[in-house]
Amino acid sequence: MRPVLCLMANELFGEITEDAWHAAAAIELFHNFTLIHDDIMDKAPLRRGNPTIHAKYGMTAGILCGDITCIYSYRELAKVRNVLPLVLQIFNKTGIEVCEGQQLDMDFESRNDVSIDEYIHMITLKTSVLLACSLKIGGLLGGATEGNANKLYEFGKNLGIAFQLQDDYLDAFGATDKLGKQQGGDIKANKKTYLHLKAWETASAFQRQGINEWLQNDSEEKVPAMLNLFGETGADVACREAVNLYSQKAFESLEDVAVISKRKHALHELASYLLQRDK
């Protein structure tokens, strides 16, 4: 997704450049670097249906494989010929934010007082800024003005937030066959998703007691019971509304990019598809 966004942002302004291909590859490598290290931290046994690197080759190889993939991403980025210092600056800033987002995500696991604002901040750093960076760099390499590049950044950032919140929603309420993963995985893992945090925020004392009890409980009724609590507290509706809010912000930013609408059509289509919205 990230390299495609980079190339499509370039295409808004002109023919795809050699530079944009390098930047797209760099961003994809960087993303994979973070996945390799995240999987170690999450003790994840599988990624894309295959054993994770640390699970197959050990933690040492996992750390080093991530490290070298990070350097590979810079090796690819260093091939960019135009506005390299600017591209590096955006890329570095984003990389630092992604690491900070991952640290926040880890910190949240052991905290019981995470606010919705903090959660949005965390997913913005962990997920959205790299989408935003892909679009901004792609735009700049296509010849965008700084103003247009920043609008693309805002588009990507809000798209990323909407996408992550959609993901939280579908993990709980999506049909298993469409997801390609088990329904309620986040609930089973006690993950503090938007739904969980929102339910907690609005829950009565009695409902909070229920949430706390289900957190300790691993029986089969856990998923349906938590889904029920998400409904009772209105967290499900709030989550859909938040998806819509950030989607809307995203499309408004795309709207503001000063190129003819026809050129933006493909990017609009892709975003709509990602958000599984009807056009």
CA distance 270 to 133: 17
- Find, among 152, 155, 95, the residue nearest to 125 by Cα: 95
Q: Of the candidates 175, 155, 168, 178, which has an alpha carbon nearest to the alpha carbon of residue 243?
A: 168
The least distance separating a second copy from the CB of residue 41, rounded to whole angstroms, comes to 5
Of 47, 14, 3, 252, nearest in space to 144 by CA: 14
| Closer of 18 and 269 to a second copy (Cβ) | 18
The CB-of-64 to a second copy minimum distance in angstroms stands at 5
Contacts of 46 (CB under 8 A, 6+ apart): 52, 55
- What six digits make up the tokens of 241? 């509304």
| Interface stretch with a second copy, choices 85-93, 124-132, 194-202, 206-214 (CB under 8 A) | 85-93
| Shortest distance in whole angstroms from residue 74 CB to a second copy | 6
Hey, what are 124's tokens?
A: 């913005």
78 binds a second copy (CB under 8 A): yes
For position 84 contacting a second copy by CB under 8 A, the verdict is yes
Q: Two tokens at 17?
A: 């450049």
Residue 175 structure tokens = 């049909």
Q: Is the Cβ of residue 132 or residue 195 nearer to a second copy in the bound state?
A: 132
Report if residue 85 touches a second copy, rule: CB under 8 A: yes
Closest approach of a second copy to the CB of residue 87, in Å: 9
The least CB distance from residue 77 to a second copy, in Å, is: 8
Number of residues that bind a second copy (CB under 8 A): 32
58 backbone φψ class: left, alpha, beta (φ>0; ψ -120 to 50): left
Task: Give the CA angle between residues 157, 7, 70 to the nearest 5°.
Answer: 70
75 binds a second copy (CB under 8 A): yes
100 binds a second copy (CB under 8 A): yes
Q: Which of 162, 90, 174 is nearest to 120 (CA)?
A: 162
- Contact between 249 and a second copy by CB under 8 A: the answer reads no
Give the tokens for residue 126: 């962990």
Binding flag, residue 40, a second copy (CB under 8 A): yes
**Dihedral over alpha carbons 194, 197, 201, 206 (to 10 degrees):** 130
**CA-CA-CA-CA torsion for 147, 148, 151, 153, nearest 10 degrees?**
-100
Least Cβ distance, residue 39 to a second copy (angstroms): 11
Closer Cβ to a second copy, 4 or 40, answer by number? 40
Report if residue 106 touches a second copy, rule: CB under 8 A: yes
In the set 16, 35, 68, 215, which binds a second copy (CB under 8 A)? 68
Residue 67 as a binder of a second copy (CB under 8 A): the answer is yes
Q: Is 266 in the site for a second copy (CB under 8 A)?
A: no
- Which residues bind to a second copy, rule: CB under 8 A? 33, 37, 40-41, 59-61, 63-64, 66-68, 70-72, 74-75, 78, 81, 84-85, 88-89, 92-93, 95-96, 99-100, 102-103, 106
